[in-house]
Amino acid sequence: MTGRFAYGLRVYGLDDVTDLMPAEPGDDLPEVTIRQHDGPRPTEVPLDRWRQVRLLADGRHLTVDRRTGTATFHGPPLTPDLLAHPYLAPPAVVVNRWAGRETFHAGAFVRHGRAYAVLGPRTAGKSSLLAALAARDVPVLADDVAVVHDGAVFAGPRCIDLRQPVPGAALAGRTAREGSRTRVPLPPIAVRAPLAGWFFLRWGDGPAATRLAAIDALGRLAAERSWPQLPSDPAVLLGLAALPAWELTRPRDWTALERTWRLIASVTESADLATAGRPA
């Protein structure tokens, strides 16, 4: 079995989840097998550095076992669309962090072969912005979790979940997550892309993009790490903060999406030209 690919992992147990790409044979990827247990978490299982347990927002427990390479959801069975998103993200974060990778609450898109991560709090409009980019044929790498390793960002499940459709965006969608979201499918994509920079979202006037100093980017990246209870390598975070970073301000106005896209295109074009002009 080759399993499925998501978040830089080879995932087993989710063959019926259509929003995941097939894993490529021979890829040297960390592996995890997803299981479900229709009942409470066994309380007699001791916790140590080889096991992590999370209480999820809906009352389910997630147990991740490093020795067995398994992640088990304890509670009522989850449907395939829920397993694709949002439930696959928590075990993926733990396994990636154990593998020495950084994970952020972020999405990512690709311009000229390089990835730009989009970060912000839960209501910052990351998914709607990424959906607007997808409608303009900008490749979207990930919607909810950006896994970073060796200077690259890994692809996530091939979908974006929206609380409400993006006006004017000709995107096919289907109902998902028990009717609470519109799921926009994304095409297959390369499993990773080199990381070029960061966009931190905020609402306000604009659109405007303000370049951030590395020290400011470092603080914001530290705040957006997924599952901060697990330790990070400070040198890795410092290196990531040295990449170009901008605070992207835009109004809560759907009509501003086109101007926001033009601004993003201009900023990333300038960043690409600056990178191309550096000596090898």
User: Residue 101 pLDDT > 60, yes or no?
Assistant: yes
- Give residue 47's pLDDT: 64
DSSP string for residues in 221-270: HHHTBSSTTS---HHHHHHHHTS-EEEEEE-S-GGGHHHHHHHHHHHHHH
The residue among 102 and 43 whose pLDDT is bigger is 102
Whole-prediction pTM: 0.93
Alpha-helical runs (H) found in 121-233: 126-135, 214-223
Q: pLDDT tens digit string along 237-262?
A: 999 999 999 999 999 988 898 999 99
- Give residue 195's pLDDT: 98
- Give residue 229's pLDDT: 81
The helix/strand/coil state of 205 is: coil
Instruction: Check: CB of residue 142 under 8 Å from CB of residue 85.
Output: no
Q: pLDDT tens digit string along 162-202?
A: 988 777 667 778 899 988 889 999 999 999 999 999 999 99
Neighbours of 91 (CB within 10 A): 25
- Give residue 118's pLDDT: 98
Measured CA to CA, the distance from residue 150 to residue 29 in angstroms comes to 13
- Give residue 280's pLDDT: 39
- Give residue 277's pLDDT: 58
Cross-sheet strand order for the sheet of 31-37: 21-22, 4-6, 9-12, 31-37, 70-74, 61-65, 51-55
- Give residue 46's pLDDT: 61
- Give residue 40's pLDDT: 83
User: Residue 276 pLDDT > 80, yes or no?
Assistant: no
Average model confidence (pLDDT) for the chain?
92
Q: What share of the chain is helix, strand, coil (3-state, %, to 5)?
A: 25, 35, 40
Structural domain boundaries of the chain?
4-98, 102-276
Indicate the fold that domain 102-276 takes in CATH: Rossmann fold (3.40.50)
Which string of b and e fits 63-74 if b means at least 16 CB within 10 Å?
bbbeeeebbbbb
